[in-house]
Each structure stands twice: as C-alpha cells, then as structure tokens.
Structure 1
Amino acid sequence: MNPLLDKLQPYPFDKLRKLFADVTPNPAYRPISLGIGEPKHPTPAFIRQALADSLDGLAAYPATAGSEALRAAIAGWLERRYGLPKLDIATQVLPVTGSREALFALAQTLVDPRRGDALVACPNPFYQIYEGAAYLSGAEPYYINSNPARNFAPDYQSVPAEVWARVQLLYLCSPGNPTGAVLSLDDWQALFDLSDRYGFVIASDECYSEIYFKDEPPLGGMEAAHKLGRAGYPRLISFSSLSKRSNVPGMRSGFVAGDADILKKFLLYRTYHGSAMGPAIQSASAVAWGDETHVQENRAKYIQKFREVTPLLAEVLDVALPDAGFYLWAKVDKLAAISDVDFAKRLYAEYNVTVLPGSYLAREAHGINPGQNRIRMALVAETAECLEAAQRIVEFTRKLAAH
C-alpha cells in the first residue's frame, strides 16, 4: 500500500458523524442541516432538458480534451465574465469532471517527486482536498492562517522566504471556503511577484465566484493577471465549476484555464488518468456556460436569503455578511464561553440543527487553529428553512448565555 495514504486525515464530515454518533436529536424539531455546502436550489429546467437531449452521445468515447463546442463555451464565459482577451480554446482551456478532482490531480502533475523538501502551500482553514493532494504528491502541506483583521484573507506576508523557496504549488480559494474572503488586485500583485521570484504555480479555486453580495463581482485570477499585464497567465491555473453557479453538483462539470504550458502537461496526465467528461454532460455544460439569466436568478435568491438570515444571527454570534460564497463564518463565543465542537454537538442534540465546527476545517499551525471557536453554516436550502434554522440557533445561544 502507498504509505502516503496514512497521512490523510478524516474528512470533516466523517469527524462530524463521529461527534454525533452518541447523540439523539430532540424529536420536537425536524432536522435542518447547514453542515454541507451542497446547493439545494432547483436545477434549471433548460439544463435538464439539454442533458436529456444529448443521451445519444453515450454511444461514443469522449475525448479527454473535451469537445470544441464545450471549450468554446467555457472560453466565451471567461472572456465575458472577466473581460479577458480572446483565449486559445485548444491550449488555454480544459474541461474537467468537477473542480475537486482537478484540484487534486494538478498536484500530482506539478510536484517534482525527486525533491524531498517540496511544499504545497494552502490557506488555513481550507478545503481538505488541498491537503490530501499535497500528501499524495509526495510534498508536505504548509498552512497559511487566515487573518480576521484582513477580512479573513490568508496572511501571505507572514510566510518566510525560506518557505517560499520550497513551495512548488500554492492553492488559494477566492471567494474563500469557509470565510467568503475575496483577494484584491494588490493581493494578486504580491502573489504574482512571489511566483515570479520563486517559480511556484498558483492554483486559483474560484468555484464560488458567481455568488456575491456587492455590485462588483469578485476578481478572478486570470482577470487580475490580465489587468497587471501578465500575458499568457504564467504559472497560473484557474478552476471553476457549474456546481454552485448552476445548481448541478451531480453533473461533476468544471474547467481549468490559464498557462498553456502547464495545461499541456496536465492534459497528458489526465489522458492516462482517465478523466474525460461524458458526452451528454459536455453538451449540457456548454448550454449552461452560455446562459447568465439563471445565474442572476440564483444569485438573487442568495442575496435575499443572506440579508434576512445574517442580521438575525448577528444578534447572538460574531458574524457578518461575507464578500461572496454561500457560507457564514461565525464566532460562537460572543454571548457564552463555548467551543465550536461543543456548540455544534449541543445545537444538534437540543435543536436538531447541524453546523460544522470551524476547527474541523483547519489545522493547528503557527501556534493556533484559526477555525477554533467558529462554525461554518452553509445557507444552501431555501430561505424559509434557513430562517428556521437561524431562529433555533438564536434561541439556543441565548439559552447558553442565560446559564
């Protein structure tokens, strides 16, 4: 067996199941889960129809590089969304079966196994795929703590030069999971300067980019590179997905785009790995990337939901509207001294609401666990259900404070 598998930690939801194993939730309340970031808004009918109309494609093997029509649809979306110059669909865009598998696979492509001191840097808290990808590529993860004083953006300035010199890949997530933080153009300039100096690749996870609460949409990595005059997007690979944007997590459809030299090697890896997207999924995905009306309608639902739920929770928790994404990242000890783990367990037991302890999404690094005493709440259900959950959380938290 590969000994690197022993380095993998249980997934946050496995930890949550273990935490709840001996708990019988209060039967007076129906269960409501804010624990998993799985979109619950309905899949648009036109995407379902496009999938059904494309089933003849099941009789053919798909190309790993995807169809020309899908690559053109992805490139067109990138150009419209981020104001990019025309992309080469043959070299700068590649469909993937969901951003998750591509985020994992990129490390296997990029990390040099001959180098015994390789690091893969990632934010902390983080999406656990980054950590697993680092370990199974033969590297070690290096955690960069989020900084509440910077709206929870990772504190990249805290990383020593000798660490950057060992980094081969930097994962970043903007808008962030779980914090919702969005990197600024100045942040990108600093990261590009570091990449130029030390030669590492930036993997920009942008799967929450279309759920935002301000008039100006979140800045993307390729958009930042273009604004800063970085032609060809050197050492930058951006990831996106239809899962959150279009409410189709079951389709497993996304893309990578950016540096053509890296994508050429990544396509070679994927050809051997067997990661081609099914033809019917490709056809439906091309249709989805070409439509913005359903995205605007979806975003409007989130805006309304967060405007109603956030002020309610802010009465009892230290929480504010994020820049983007569909999570609230709340500090739980505003009214009562309680850990994130105890808060989640008691809330589930007494009010049948599931939230995810923040410490499960982070690692202790540089003397702290930046998720400690925080919880992540995924506001993915319809507004009425999220409001009911929020009202229960308010009642529970006030009861804690009274005792």
Structure 2
Amino acid sequence: MNPYLELLQAYPFEKLRKLFAGTTPNPNYSPISLGLGEPKHATPDLIKQALIDNLDGLANYPATLGSETLRLAISQWLSRRFDVPQLDIASQILPVNGSREALFSLVQAVVDPTRTQGGKPIVMCPNPFYQIYEGAAYLAGAEPYFANANPARNFAPDYSSIPEEIWLRTQLVFVCSPGNPTGAVLTQKDWEELFALSEKYNFVIAADECYSEIYFKEETPLGSLTAAHRFGLKDYRNLITLSSLSKRSNVPGMRSGFVAGDAKLIKNFLLYRTYHGGAMAPPVQAASTAAWNDEAHVIENRELYKQKFAQITPILQEVLDVALPDAAFYLWADVTKHTPMSDTEFALALYRDYNVTVLPGSYLAREAHGINPGKNRIRMALVAEVDECLEAAQRIASFVRQHMQAPSA
C-alpha cells in the first residue's frame, strides 16, 4: 500500500463519532445537527428539470473538457459575478466533479516531488482548514505547512511571519475565502501580499471559493480573479480558482464545479484528469449549465440565509463569543468566555443534555507553531430550515446559561 496513507488523520466527523460513543442523548429532545456543512435548502426545480430532460446523455462517454455550452455558462457567470473579462473557454476553464475532488487532484498534478530545496515540497494550508488540503498534500509526497488564522487579521494568516526557508520549498498555497470555518473574506491587500509572494517564489495559489455566494452584506465578497485582475495579473499566472454549485444552488449530491485561471496550469490539469477519469456526466453538465445561467434561485437562497443568521446570531451572542461572519453558513464561536468547558467538553455535554450536535473547532485544525487555532471554538453549520436552527440556538442558550461562569476580571 501507499505508505503515505499512514499519514492521514481521521476525518473530523469520525473523531466526533468517537467522542460521542457510549453517550445517550437526552430523549426529551429530538436530534438537531449543526455539525455537517451540507446544504438543506430545496434544490431549484429548473436544475432538476434540466437533469431529467437530458438523461439521454447517459448513453454517451463525456469529454473531460466538458461541453462548450457549460464552459461558456461558467465563463459568463465569472465575468458577471467578479467583474472580470470573460475567460477563454478553450483554455482557462475546466468543469470538475465538485470542488472537493478537484482540490485533491490539483495537488497531485501540481506538486513536483523531484523539486526539493531543503526538504520535501510544501503545500501550505490555512489553519483551521478543510481536511482535503492536508490529505492531498501527503498523498502527493509533500509536507503540509499550517498558516494559523489570526483573529486580529479577521482570521487571515499572517504570511509575512513565515520564514523564507518555508517559502523556498512551497509549491502550492491553499486559500479558502470565504473561509471554512471562520466565514472570513480576504481583502485586496491580503491577496496582493500573496500574489507578490507567488511571483517571488513561484508557487501556485489554489483559491477555494465554494462559499462565495452566501453572504450577508450588500457588498459581494472579493474573489481571487477580481483581486488578481486589479493587481495586474491579467493572465492569472499561477492562480487557480475553484468553485462549486453545492452551496450556491443546493445540489451537493450533483457533484459539479469548475476550476479556472492560469491557462498553462489548466492545460496540464486537463491532461492529468484525462487519465484520472474526471469527466462529468452529460446530464449533470446540462443541469449545471442551467444553474450557472440562472441567478434568481441564488438570490432567493442567499435571502434565506440572511434571514436565518439575522434571527439566530443575536440569540447565540448572548451566551457565546460569536459574531456574524463575512460570508458562508457557519458560526465560529469561542465557548470559553462564559463556560469552563473546552470545545470537546462543550460538544459532548451539549449532545448529551440537549441532543444538539456541533463540531469542536480543534477537530478542524492542527497544532502548529505552539497552538491549535481551533481550540475552544465550535463550528455551527446553519444549513437546516430556520425553525430547526432557532430551536437549536435556544437549546444552546439554555445549555450555556446552566453552565455559565462569571467573566474573568
């Protein structure tokens, strides 16, 4: 077997199952899970109908490059949404089977294990992070380096503090903006710092933007393509943006997304995917085209999240150190301000006493540079309908009040 498999850690939800093992939740409460970030809003009819209308496509082998119609829809959406010139559909856009598989396979295509300078190649990850980043790094023969989220910088990593010897080994940097689990959005200044470092040290930036369409202010979250265009990277050199329909259009089971950006990188990634078997089924391509071409359902979906967060955040702010995020559908709360419990103790006791599941923040991060930046925080995914989320928030508030401790002087 591949020896790198031994380096993979248990997924956060496996750790959560072990934490809860042997614990019986209070039977007086129905179960509510805020643990898994799986969209629960209804899938739009136009997407389901497009899928049904194109089932004949199952009789055909799909091209890895995807249909011209789908790539055009993606290019037009990117131009509308991020205020950039349309990307070339022949060389700068590639449909993928959900951003998750593309995040993983992109690392396998990008990392050059023979290019070492002082040690193994490095794949830099934000910390906390989406676990695919770490696993992809290990299985490509690289070493993950964790750039801790800095609350003082709106949870952006402080890239200026990273030693040059690390940058010299870095081949790919993952960026998640809006972030999971923090919901934070990088600024133009953050992006320009990263672009300058990429130019100096010649590493690829993989911008994971699957939460870009769930936000709470009138101003849309800044995207990597917009930031690059403003910076003068008209060819998006060394930049790959990844997005998905899962959160935007409530179709996580359809597994549909795209990568876009640097034509040279896309060309080589296409070659990799031709062997990897990454072609999207024709009915899914047709349904995806319908989704990218329609914005009305996205606006409606976003409004549901706005209403939900507007009702639930104030309830939780009374008992937890938590704020409305820039974007995404998570609340990232510190549990230590009002309770004597760690994040794992909080999650276990809440599950036991009120049958509500939240995810301990330490499970979403690694200890790096002396700290685990997820420690003593919890992630709450507000993906269910508003009544269920309100019920969960009220139970959490009751739970914290039972365990409330006096604030430290």
Instruction: Tell me if TM exceeds 0.5.
Output: yes
Name which of 126, 130, 134 aligns with 1:127.
130
Q: Offset of 1:86 from its aligned partner?
A: 2.2
Distance 2:160 2:382 in 1: 32
Match for residue 333 of structure 1?
336
Name which of 224, 227, 234 aligns with 1:224.
227
Q: Offset of 1:155 from its aligned partner?
A: 1.9
SS at match of 2:148: strand
**Which one-letter code corresponds to 1:176 in the other structure?**
G
TM-score by length of 1: 0.99
Distance 2:405 2:78 in 1: 52
SS at match of 1:165: helix
**Which one-letter code corresponds to 2:250 in the other structure?**
N
Distance 1:169 1:87 in 2: 22
Correspondences of 1:95-244 after superposition (within 5 Å): 95-114=95-114, 115=116, 116-244=119-247
Q: Offset of 1:267 from its aligned partner?
A: 0.2
Match for residue 381 of structure 1?
384
Distance 1:10 1:248 in 2: 26
RMSD: 0.8
Q: Offset of 1:335 from its aligned partner?
A: 1.2
TM-score by length of 2: 0.98
Q: Offset of 1:87 from its aligned partner?
A: 1.4
**Which one-letter code corresponds to 2:137 in the other structure?**
A
Per-residue displacement from partner, 1:243-288 (whole Å, max 9, x unpaired)? 0000000000000000000000000000000010000000000000
Q: Offset of 1:402 from its aligned partner?
A: 6.3
Match for residue 282 of structure 1?
285
Q: Does 1:45 align with 2:48?
A: no
Task: Report if the CA contact (8 A) 2:317-2:323 is conserved.
Answer: yes
Distance 1:234 1:306 in 2: 37
SS at match of 1:395: helix
Distance 2:362 2:213 in 1: 27
SS at match of 2:279: coil
Match for residue 62 of structure 2?
62
Q: Offset of 1:198 from its aligned partner?
A: 0.1
Name which of 341, 352, 355 aligns with 1:352.
355
**Which one-letter code corresponds to 1:199 in the other structure?**
N
Gaps of 5+ in 2: none
Q: Does 1:256 align with 2:259?
A: yes
Per-residue displacement from partner, 1:196-240 (whole Å, max 9, x unpaired)? 000000000000000001111111111111111111100000000
Identity of aligned residues (%): 69
Distance 1:312 1:86 in 2: 43
SS at match of 1:95: strand
Distance 2:311 2:59 in 1: 48
SS at match of 1:25: coil
Distance 1:99 1:237 in 2: 12
**Which one-letter code corresponds to 2:252 in the other structure?**
P
**Which one-letter code corresponds to 1:6 in the other structure?**
E
Distance 2:11 2:161 in 1: 27
Q: Offset of 1:322 from its aligned partner?
A: 0.2
| Alignment coverage as a number of residue pairs | 403
Gaps of 5+ in 1: none
**Which one-letter code corresponds to 1:228 in the other structure?**
F
Distance 2:240 2:28 in 1: 49
Match for residue 89 of structure 1?
89
Distance 2:86 2:55 in 1: 31
Match for residue 28 of structure 1?
28
SS at match of 2:112: coil
Per-residue displacement from partner, 1:331-363 (whole Å, max 9, x unpaired)? 001212110000000000000000000000000
Q: Offset of 1:113 from its aligned partner?
A: 1.5
SS at match of 1:172: strand
Match for residue 363 of structure 1?
366
Distance 1:158 1:32 in 2: 41
Distance 1:23 1:70 in 2: 48
SS at match of 2:240: strand
Per-residue displacement from partner, 1:363-392 (whole Å, max 9, x unpaired)? 000000000000000000011100000000
SS at match of 1:387: helix
Distance 1:329 1:85 in 2: 35
SS at match of 1:401: coil
Task: Report if the CA contact (8 A) 2:78-2:86 is conserved.
Answer: no
**Which one-letter code corresponds to 2:120 in the other structure?**
D
Correspondences of 1:301-320 after superposition (within 5 Å): 301-320=304-323
Displaced runs of 4 or more, over 4 A:
none
Distance 1:402 1:342 in 2: 15
